[in-house]
Chain A
Amino acid sequence: MKRKTRTRFFLVSASVLAAVFLLGVLGLPPLGHYRGPYGDVVNALTVPERHVTDAVTLVNFDVRGFDTLGEEYILFTSVMAVALLLRRQRDEPRRRHRDHAPGRKGVEASDAVRVVSLVLSGILVTFGIYVVTHGQLTPGGGFQGGVILATAPLLMYVAGEFENFRRAVPRQLVHIAEALGACGYGLIGLATMAAGGAFLQNTLPFGTTGSIVSGGTIPLIDLSVGLEVSGGLAVLLIVYMEETLEHKEE
């Protein structure tokens, strides 16, 4: 197709899309004027009954806890599949990895980058733990905090070499974290069944609103999701980087 025809085709379809989109947006209720029933139900449940202050976490880990379990296992299986596909083959030599782009020399990180990364990595890990543990109180939770925890060690790679990153995030450890998180979620569900409730029914005492242990099973699920996501993403990063970086001749 010629460029002119392509542009014409794009303009026609873009104007149709814009018209339909505008029509849809104009039909929306104004922000803050919610009409459906579910939001009101969740609002009535969040602080008065479950004693948590973040409605999103309540929905994710309590109201639709079973769906989140499925989502967690989607992540778990995809990480496992990637790790399986990119595993070290038997005839592949065991060599150290070198950060080196083909066709050009690698540049050493400057002192400024090193210092900033060093300072930031500690802060980021603390922030990640904060986001995971305060899931039921403030925005965030196991997923967001887990991703922050997994990406924080990347700063060590930015400041130094891949080996620094590998030493900071031992592969065995992240595999254990991922497995613990994945099976923890299911075990919490089974425990609530053993306590006489339904699978993942919030049967623990809800505690005081605003406390770090409030919300019954929510903080426990939050923690297991945090472990699973941080471990899974760290496995993904390690595997991808090992695959990409060049091997250094010993």
Chain B
Amino acid sequence: MLPLIQAMVLLFVAAGAAVVALTRDPVAQALVVSFYGLLLAILFFVFQAPDVSLSQIVIGAVALPLMILLALTKIKKQEHEKKD
């Protein structure tokens, strides 16, 4: 049973990575990468590394997308100010 779940999660992670790369809009990409972070956390969990999984959830699914969104906001603001 466990190898089957592991193989499934590995496939999901591979597909998720492709989806992240194929998403062109940066804002949407920040959200997609958050879900991809959750997938990675599940991957670490089924491969019996719960400590890494916890770090992955908080950093990959929460902190990283937030930083990306904040950076995008800052860039957009600068472009907006340039236009004015």
Contact = CB atoms under 8 A, between A and B. Distances in A.
Contacts, number: 52
Interface residues of B, number: 21
Interface stretch (A40-48, A142-150, A178-186, A219-227): A142-150
Nearest to A151: B62
A204 to B, nearest CB: 23
Contacts of A237: 66
A147 to B, nearest CB: 4
A140 B74 CA distance: 33
A143 B80 contact: no
Interface in A85-116: 101-103
B58 A147 contact: yes
B54 A139 contact: yes
Nearest to A140: B54
Interface string B8-37: 000000000000000000000000000000
Interface residues of A, number: 24
A147 B77 contact: no
A246 B78 CA distance: 11
A54 B48 CA distance: 12
Interface of B: 6, 47-48, 50-51, 53-55, 58-59, 62-63, 66-67, 70, 73-74, 76-77, 80-81
Interface of A: 31, 54, 56-57, 101-103, 131, 139-141, 143-144, 147-148, 151, 154, 233, 237, 240-241, 243-244, 246
